[in-house]
Amino acid sequence: MSGLVTRNRLIGLALAALVAILDQAVKLWVVGPLALRQVGQIELLPFFDLTYAENRGVSLGMLQASNMEMRWGLVALTAGIALVVLVWMLRERKLGDIAGLALILGGALGNIKDRFELGYVIDYADFHIGTFRPFLIFNIADAAITIGVLIILARSLLVRDKGAIETGDTPRGEQHNA
């Protein structure tokens, strides 16, 4: 069993690295060859554009870093959260849980790199229905974080620990009346 757990954790680390690398590669492509910073917006589909944005805050534009102290504070805060996610991921055993955490970790690393080097996160994905925008402009890292959180929530709400039930252990908060 421990070989499988080690394998799952290595898969998680590889997935986190892949997300971070893919995020950075697309950001380089968007600001480099596509010159989105200069162009501003490229219409791709009736419901999806590439729109250049610099996010100096965190989720939903909260905690805006308006000075250097706040910028480095956000770098430290997000790095601390990423470290907690890494430790959590390395403690998990099941690939489903590890994969969700790996998506969160990889996304966080991609955005931390931007904030560390640039002082802001590059966003470009602009999903819309006419003038209605259900999301703020985002990037691959943001999407990976969101999907990872949804996986963790779904697994925590829908997946029961069958090992505990099979061995006769009672789930927390439940007692057997004998």
Quick one: pLDDT band at residue 178, thresholds 50, 70, 90?
very low
Single out the catalytic residue among 23, 97, 114, 123: 123
Catalytic residue check, 123: yes
Tell me the domain boundaries of the chain: 2-160
Could you tell me if 124 and 53 are in contact, meaning their C-beta atoms sit under 8 angstroms apart? Answer: yes
Quick one: pLDDT band at residue 81, thresholds 50, 70, 90?
very high
Single out the catalytic residue among 23, 142, 161, 169: 142
Those residues with Cβ within 8 angstroms of residue 77's Cβ, 6 or more apart along the chain or in another chain: 58, 63
> Can you tell me the mean pLDDT for 25-50?
95
Q: What is the pLDDT of residues 106-165, one digit of tens each?
A: 999 999 999 999 999 999 999 998 888 888 899 999 999 999 999 999 999 987 765 554
Q: What is the pTM of this model?
A: 0.83
78 three-class SS: helix
Catalytic residue check, 142: yes
